[in-house]
Chain A
Amino acid sequence: MTKFLILTKYDETLGLEPMSKWAPEDARAHAEYQMAINKELVDSGEWVEGYALTGPELAKIVVSDGGTAPVITDGPFPEAKELLAGYQMVDVESLDRALEIAARVSAAPGPGGAPIGQRIEVRQVMADLLGCEL
């Protein structure tokens, strides 16, 4: 089994309104869709953890040189695509299975119930393993 992080990022190219402006039933349908996927992952024994994050308007960016006071910038940011919307960590049999889950996440319904087609980033966790000896 291998652990993968399935990352959902804000994607401004989709021209999507922030979720706070969606019709309440659309936002609910979206959340229920995601929760149903998560529930399935728990039942299949593949779930490690996952969270939806608060919106970019609450995000802060911190930069420090280790000496002087850190520079803290408040959101929202023009480069929203750099920001994470949420993630799921799964422990699965194969990369193919992780991609299958990511495809489901990508097709989550947006305003009007149409699949959003978000870009989902799939990253394998680098294991702190010792591996085989040469």
Chain B
Amino acid sequence: MIEGLLRELAPQVLGVLVRRYGDFASAEDAVQEALLAAATHWPTEGVPDNPRGWLIQTAVRKLTDLYRSEQARRRREDAAGRLETPQPDVGDTDDTLALLFLCCHPALTPASAIPLTLRAVGGLTTAEIAGAFLVPEATMAQRISRAKARIKASGDPFAQPGDLRSVLHVLYLIFNEGYTSSRGEGLHRVELSDEAIRLARLLHRLKPDDGEVAGLLALMLLTDARRPARTGPGGELIPLAEQDRTLWNRSLIEEGVALTLAAMSRGAVGEYQLQAAITACHDEAERPEDTDWRQILGLYVLLERMTANPMVALNRAIAAAMVHGPAAGLRLLDALDERLAGHYRLDAVRAHLHELAGNTELAAKHYRAAAERTTNLAEQRYLISKIASG
């Protein structure tokens, strides 16, 4: 409970400090220290009456300490001067959105934007983030401090125009990282997909009228709804058509479908909404044979016009095969040979369509090629099982 409260308050407290002192990099360090202090004291001493105020006060004190030690070390007069003449407090503005724009700044690579977002906006510790990505804490700390240096070089933290697209992209990557990773191995492994959903909900609260924000949240919910069914007892991957659909999380599906419909009815349909709508089509089918492939194919055709992503073209080929037969899908795949040369997914889909066409020999051949090319252990096991069953 305390952990949830701290993660929720983290960006608010950071926003206040950045407004007052303008120094994002140091303010962010100070807020981290305040969060750690709260995580140590609150469980034994109780949550203070005004937790937000407590965190702000503690963070300001930590920032003062930080500047003092810096000053002693390098005699940084300007930093201390800044503390003595704080910027006027702007009251209760929530700067979470501005912080998200900052942490997902297009000048940052995703590799640095992701941990920075998780720490500054998500309130996670460096150790938790490092654990989630299976790298040493020092490595993750280095990525974060490089990201902050980059932001510092670009001037006033809150004066820059925000780029919502890059925020959505970073949240999408965090979700995928969590969704595709194996689970339950690290003792303190943070659930990245849960964290991405939490941040997407936060963004949706701040931007309720943005269709793509709603679309991304819906996509995450509709995908996460299948989580209980997508792996077997041994951690092996269970493909969509073979999943036990009674395990799917109905309330997440309902929420995702409602969000998708509301977003799409407002017009200006974007990529995330289309992906959410496709996922919704799958989620709403009680049995695989109930899937509305015609609708899915139509959505993929629209999506393909918006993106050059060859994976979309690949999925469109699957949908075409389901509507017009495997030969139609295979024809579309031929056009992808160049763009996806050597990619195991192309082999896997080709194998699948040959299997549907009843050509087991060709299917086995392409499943084997896919198994040789995948860098993913669970996928390899799955593909090898397909060769054996062919």
Interface residues of A (CB under 8 A from B): 1, 3, 42-49, 91, 93, 124-134
Residues of the A chain whose Cβ atoms lie less than 8 Å from the Cβ of B226: 133
Q: Which of B109, B142, B377 touches A127 (beta carbons < 8 Å)?
A: B377
Residues of the B chain whose Cβ atoms lie less than 8 Å from the Cβ of A48: 134-136, 139
Main secondary structure, interface of B, reads: helix
**Contact of A43 with B378 in the complex, beta carbons under 8 Å:** no
Q: Does B346 contact A (CB under 8 A)?
A: no
A118 vs B323: C-alpha distance in the bound complex, in angstroms?
55
A1-B133, A124-B375 known, 17 other contacts, Cβ within 8 Å: A1-B111, A42-B142, A43-B142, A45-B142, A47-B139, A91-B133, A93-B109, A128-B377, A129-B379, A130-B179, A130-B378, A131-B180, A131-B237, A132-B180, A132-B345, A133-B230, A134-B349
**Contact of A44 with B142 in the complex, beta carbons under 8 Å:** yes
A49 vs B111: C-alpha distance in the bound complex, in angstroms?
18
A128 vs B378: C-alpha distance in the bound complex, in angstroms?
6
Q: Does B165 contact A (CB under 8 A)?
A: no
Residues of the B chain whose Cβ atoms lie less than 8 Å from the Cβ of A91: 133, 135, 139
Residues of the A chain whose Cβ atoms lie less than 8 Å from the Cβ of B111: 1, 45, 93
Q: Which of A47, A49, A127, A134 touches B239 (beta carbons < 8 Å)?
A: A134
Residues of the B chain whose Cβ atoms lie less than 8 Å from the Cβ of A42: 138-139, 142
Instruction: Flag B214-252 by CB within 8 Å of A: 1 or 0 each.
Output: 000000000000100011000101011100000000000
Interface residues of B (CB under 8 A from A): 109, 111-112, 133-136, 138-140, 142-143, 146, 179-182, 226, 230-231, 235, 237, 239-241, 311, 318, 345, 348-349, 352, 374-380
Residue of A nearest to B345 (CB): A132
Q: Which of A93, A126, A127, A130 touches B231 (beta carbons < 8 Å)?
A: A130
Residues of the A chain whose Cβ atoms lie less than 8 Å from the Cβ of B318: 134
Q: Which of B138, B139, B143, B180 touches A130 (beta carbons < 8 Å)?
A: B180
- How far, in Å, is B185 (CB) from chain A's closest CB? 8
27 A-B pairs in the complex with CB atoms less than 8 angstroms apart: A3-B134, A43-B142, A44-B146, A46-B139, A48-B134, A48-B139, A91-B135, A91-B139, A124-B375, A126-B375, A126-B377, A127-B375, A127-B376, A129-B182, A129-B377, A129-B379, A130-B180, A130-B237, A132-B180, A132-B311, A133-B226, A133-B237, A134-B239, A134-B240, A134-B241, A134-B349, A134-B352
Known interface pairs A45-B112, A45-B146, A131-B237; A126-B139 also in contact (CB < 8 Å): no
Residue of A nearest to B243 (CB): A133
Closest 8 CB pairs of A and B: A45-B143, A45-B142, A131-B379, A128-B182, A134-B239, A133-B240, A129-B376, A128-B377
**Contact of A130 with B380 in the complex, beta carbons under 8 Å:** no
**Contact of B135 with A131 in the complex, beta carbons under 8 Å:** no
A47 vs B130: C-alpha distance in the bound complex, in angstroms?
12
- How far, in Å, is A131 (CB) from chain B's closest CB? 4
A63 vs B138: C-alpha distance in the bound complex, in angstroms?
38
A91 vs B143: C-alpha distance in the bound complex, in angstroms?
11
Residues of the B chain whose Cβ atoms lie less than 8 Å from the Cβ of A134: 239-241, 318, 348-349, 352
- How far, in Å, is A44 (CB) from chain B's closest CB? 7
A132 vs B352: C-alpha distance in the bound complex, in angstroms?
14
Residue of A nearest to B311 (CB): A132
**Contact of A45 with B139 in the complex, beta carbons under 8 Å:** yes
- How far, in Å, is B170 (CB) from chain A's closest CB? 14
A45 vs B134: C-alpha distance in the bound complex, in angstroms?
13
